[in-house]
Structure 1
Amino acid sequence: MFLFMLPAWSIQQAQFPQIPWTSRLPSMKGWNLTLDLHAPSPTPLFVRIARALEEDIRRGRLPPGAALPGSRTLAESLGVHRNTVLAAYRELETQGWISTSAARATYVSPTLPDVPARSTAGASRTAMPTQVGFSLPSTPLSREQPDPPRGTLVLAGGAPDIRLLPASLLARAYRRALKLHGKHLLHYGDARGLQRLRAALAGMLSSLRGLAVRADDLIVTRGSQGAVDLVARTLVTPGDTVAVEAIGYRPAWHAFQLAGARLAPIPLDGEGLRVEALEALAQRTPVRAVYLTPHHQYPTTVTLSPARRLALLAWARTHRVALIEDDYDHEFHYEGRPILPLASADRDGLVLYVGTLSKVLAPALRLGFLAAPRPFLEHALGVREAVDRQGDTALEAAVAELLEEGEVRRHVRKMHGIYHGRRDALVEAVERELAGALTVSPPAGGMALWAHCAPDVDVGAWVRAGREAGVAFTAGGDYSFDGRPVPAVRLGFACLEESELAEAVRRMARTLPRTARVPKREISGRTGKATRP
């Protein structure tokens, strides 16, 4: 049973047939050469073939150096005499468009002849038009910044240290999965994800997070973002109001906006999401869902207090509102026992629980999951099959083996100690190098710090100067719903070693755009430092 309503429509799950792909066209270094010669014309056939190839070279579809099929192969595929193709090739070679090597191979000339103005500037331009011939949405969604230059120390976000991933164990499990079950794993699979992985995840969620779930209560997705997108597509109809944290995770906001939702930002304080603001919103308009990150709020790292959790569940029960709980880094909690998810206290089918293994293993391993009441999952599976069909079944099998053998648990335990130390090292470095500019308290968990800036710090200028000096970090305003500046920065600590963190903070100190330099102070017995277990 669950209390919130689902959209009236439902997508029927379907069986997807296997459609073989074949081609009768010749290979051109693994690709196919297609020429349009069907239009009637009095022009000799060899000239039409030559012009078709010339046009493809002009447009950049055949770049300089591209190998062309042999005359016999091309003639057979076009259904013409070989001499016709030879005549076309001779015409193109005379004009300088193609060349022949000593091995009698034919290829596009490295240096093309001068072309008239109607061309697309030769092979330096692609065949794809540079403009669209139809209208686009007025404002594209914002995207993440491109990767910084090589050598940059990246504090932005809060990614795991992929250098510590047990890649050899993962590779071994992947090879074994393909060797033993390749025919099954490489076929169309269950849209819910591999049953073996769902069973392993259910065991992990039950023992570590207090969720009474079974394999059939889960869908494996492509990362937590895939789970959020699936929830948005399944739950939201255009015009629905979805409440989000006023400082929060923009990619999730985009998923709800693409589903047609109107987003309503809810303010935060030291105890997390303010439930009284949700109540005020509900008095003005019906609320379809609330998306939140209660364990380590993204990006502020605040943990939703127990009293707020109870109040939120009671409010959702009263108003029949779905709670979308994104528990993206539950494993990393350093102070006392972690608070169990909202979903563990849900008795009314209100919480749609989103999690991921990407923070535990590596961001490129897109493995997330959605735990939800089964009636909701039935709707979601129809959407999944229409949009994404299934995940990487072979990868799911490999990770399932690592979970079953305890390798993931051992890796998490190792990372827990390392990240705890890095958290403390970053806090020490900030207090030593940036005292007076940043105020920071060690977060209870997670993979990043939320540091408050002094009033005279130009955060945007600091971030830009830092990137030029080889250190990347994120301004608080980048997480603001309305885009207004926030006097804070987010500093990830998990992906850098302690020495790298110290150097990153030194670079931040050197580039701080203030009226006065930040005074350094020696740290002796830093107050508030967490004690390692």
Structure 2
Amino acid sequence: MQHLYSQLRIEKEERQPVYLQLADQLMSLIRNGPLHAGQRLPSSRDMAEQLQVHRKTVVRAYDELLAQGWLESHTGSGTFVARHLPKTQLQTLNGKKSDAPDPPTKAGFSFEVPVHLERPIVKSVAPLHLDDGFPDSRLAPLEELSRCYRSQLLLGNPYMRLGYSDTNGTLWLRQELSAYLNETRGLHTTPDNILVVRGTIMGMYLVATGLLQPGDNVVTGDLSWAGAGANAAQVGAHLLKIPVDEYGLDTTALEQLCKKKKIRLVYVTPHHHYPTTVIMRADRRLHLLQLAEKYGFIIFEDDYDYDFHYLSKPLTPLASADKAGMVMYGGSFTKAVSPAFRIGYLVGPADVLNYLSKLRRIIDRQGDNMLENAIAALLQSGVIQRCLRKSLRIYRERRDVFCDLLQTELGKYVQFQPPVGGLAVWADFDKRINMAALSQQALRQDLYIYDGSAYRQSLPAHNFTRLGFASSTPEELEECVGILKVLLGK
């Protein structure tokens, strides 16, 4: 038994107090079996001598374990491992000895990761980037946001300000959002028609979880945002895909599908289709709304970059012409401020949002009150609106610069149409180019581009990818294109 306690190691240079180091190690010996229920521990004096620590340190460690129920003390007899603890053995349920466990990295129970969750997470890892269409956070009104956030932290009644709030989102933000969306998008909302969420993806999750049942049919374009399909799969719905062409989602194909199958939800990005950036033509928009009313399916309208349209005034959303209450409209401030600030909104009939707010409550009691009210202040003062106008002008210039560079420097390698809106170019590289290899070579030159592998599943005869231009200055775009030109010319 003396050998057992010789395994104890005290590191006096560590930040953790010595008595807690000793308590944790003794607890581990009890939990893993070497110390058994009812076993007597050395006296505090003997343990202190063996470990070369002060006796009071050992007493504190024993007291800690006594308080937690791992030890018990009997006056005049000493300190023992608590007798009520079960005998611990490292074995499996079938009685066979288990392999050495590694709880920090491997669970002791079985589970499966569904295929639809195996999606790469895009992170900002390279100083140069032609990304998926991210905004330039250098343009965000960070100083104004910082001041508003600080005011929310310091001013007002702290019990109200820092306590629990409405699951739907703060009333102030919903009021400002209602006015903002009504003015800029032609919606007809009140605060009751808005549920504040942490981004469009959270809104999609709530709609899928709350309004879909296993076996329901969900329709997307054959090229579409993978998150929509993942949410459908998560609830056991069937994902059906229809064509997307230069005029957006093919609603004639959708109508034919509706005649054969009961459709529960259609996911669509009509303003700038993701990933192709094309606009859904007006007649198809009207047709889609008519089909929703006739066949009773939900439309989830993801308006992820409404504010960035370059040729004319942005087209009003489907939700603005929805007379039957069939559209759930999702958006966020990801592009207006930064992806780091998770503020989005879900717009729809008040009864549906009231139900979805109850669902939201069991996964996320409420959002960030401070951030929500800070965004409300920026909307009320017009800061976000001014920032969007400035960003639109800058992004238009960057689009023009980038498209000119693509045409003049990479014209023999890539085909594209200048986008009328959005923050990325839908580019078709020569089929002979190995996009996976090009992506890796570019990354070694500190340039990130996506290899487009997900798009080739739907378009195997092409070599499409998205090249985001908005997050880079003209000088950075020129450097990016220069790197690609060298790599492609080898």
**Which TM-score tier does this pair reach, normalised by the shorter chain?**
0.7 to 0.9
Matched to 1:286, the amino acid is K
Residue 464 of structure 2 corresponds to residue 467 of structure 1: no
How many Å apart are 1:394 and its aligned residue? 1.1
Residue 140 of structure 2 corresponds to residue 165 of structure 1: yes
How many Å apart are 1:374 and its aligned residue? 1.3
TM-score by length of 1: 0.75
CA separation of 1:71/1:285 partners in 2, compared to 1, >3 Å: closer, same or farther? same
Aligned partners of 2:103 and 2:341: how far apart in 1?
A: 33
Aligned partners of 1:432 and 1:309: how far apart in 2?
A: 36
CA separation of 1:249/1:484 partners in 2, compared to 1, >3 Å: closer, same or farther? same
Aligned partners of 2:459 and 2:227: how far apart in 1?
A: 14
CA separation of 1:308/1:477 partners in 2, compared to 1, >3 Å: closer, same or farther? farther
Aligned partners of 1:399 and 1:510: how far apart in 2?
A: 44
Matched to 1:175, the amino acid is R
Structure 2 counterpart of 1:384: 360
Aligned partners of 1:272 and 1:234: how far apart in 2?
A: 28
Aligned partners of 2:186 and 2:342: how far apart in 1?
A: 24
Alignment of 1:321-360 (within 5 A): 321-360=297-336
CA separation of 1:197/1:467 partners in 2, compared to 1, >3 Å: closer, same or farther? same
Bigger mean CA deviation after superposition, 34-43 or 445-454? 34-43
1:143 aligned residue (108, 111, 119): 119
Q: Is the 2:431–2:461 contact (alpha carbons within 8 Å) kept by the matching residues of 1?
A: no
Structure 1 counterpart of 2:88: none
Q: Is the 2:204–2:231 contact (alpha carbons within 8 Å) kept by the matching residues of 1?
A: yes
Aligned residue pairs: how many? 432
Q: Deviations over 1:163-207 (max 9, x none)?
A: 222212111111100111443232221110001001111111000
Q: Deviations over 1:403-445 (max 9, x none)?
A: 1111111111111111111111110110111012112222111
How many Å apart are 1:465 and its aligned residue? 2.6
CA separation of 1:284/1:45 partners in 2, compared to 1, >3 Å: closer, same or farther? farther
Q: Is the 2:207–2:356 contact (alpha carbons within 8 Å) kept by the matching residues of 1?
A: yes
Q: Is the 1:243–1:264 contact (alpha carbons within 8 Å) kept by the matching residues of 2?
A: yes
Aligned partners of 1:41 and 1:485: how far apart in 2?
A: 72
Structure 1 counterpart of 2:150: 175
How many Å apart are 1:148 and its aligned residue? 6.2
How many Å apart are 1:253 and its aligned residue? 1.7
Q: Deviations over 1:244-268 (max 9, x none)?
A: 1111111222122112211111110
Q: Deviations over 1:215-268 (max 9, x none)?
A: 110000011111111111111001101001111111222122112211111110
1:155 aligned residue (127, 130, 133): 130
Identity over aligned pairs, percent: 33
Residue 455 of structure 2 corresponds to residue 458 of structure 1: no
How many Å apart are 1:483 and its aligned residue? 8.2
Q: Is the 1:247–1:480 contact (alpha carbons within 8 Å) kept by the matching residues of 2?
A: no
Matched to 1:211, the amino acid is L
TM-score by length of 2: 0.81
CA separation of 1:430/1:177 partners in 2, compared to 1, >3 Å: closer, same or farther? same
How many Å apart are 1:463 and its aligned residue? 2.5
- Matched residue of 1:248: which SS? coil
Alignment of 1:67-466 (within 5 A): 70-71=57-58, 73-79=60-66, 127-137=103-113, 139=115, 141-145=117-121, 147=123, 149-151=125-127, 153-181=128-156, 182-466=158-442
Identify unmatched segments of 5+ residues in structure 1.
Answer: 1-26, 55-68, 89-117, 519-533
Structure 1 counterpart of 2:38: 41
More helix by share: 2
CA separation of 1:277/1:456 partners in 2, compared to 1, >3 Å: closer, same or farther? same
How many Å apart are 1:129 and its aligned residue? 4.5
Matched to 2:275, the amino acid is P
Aligned partners of 2:284 and 2:476: how far apart in 1?
A: 38
Matched to 1:406, the amino acid is G
Aligned partners of 2:193 and 2:99: how far apart in 1?
A: 58
Identify unmatched segments of 5+ residues in structure 2.
Answer: 1-14, 80-97
Matched to 1:156, the amino acid is D
RMSD of the TM alignment (CA)? 3.0
Q: Is the 1:221–1:370 contact (alpha carbons within 8 Å) kept by the matching residues of 2?
A: yes
CA separation of 1:126/1:401 partners in 2, compared to 1, >3 Å: closer, same or farther? farther
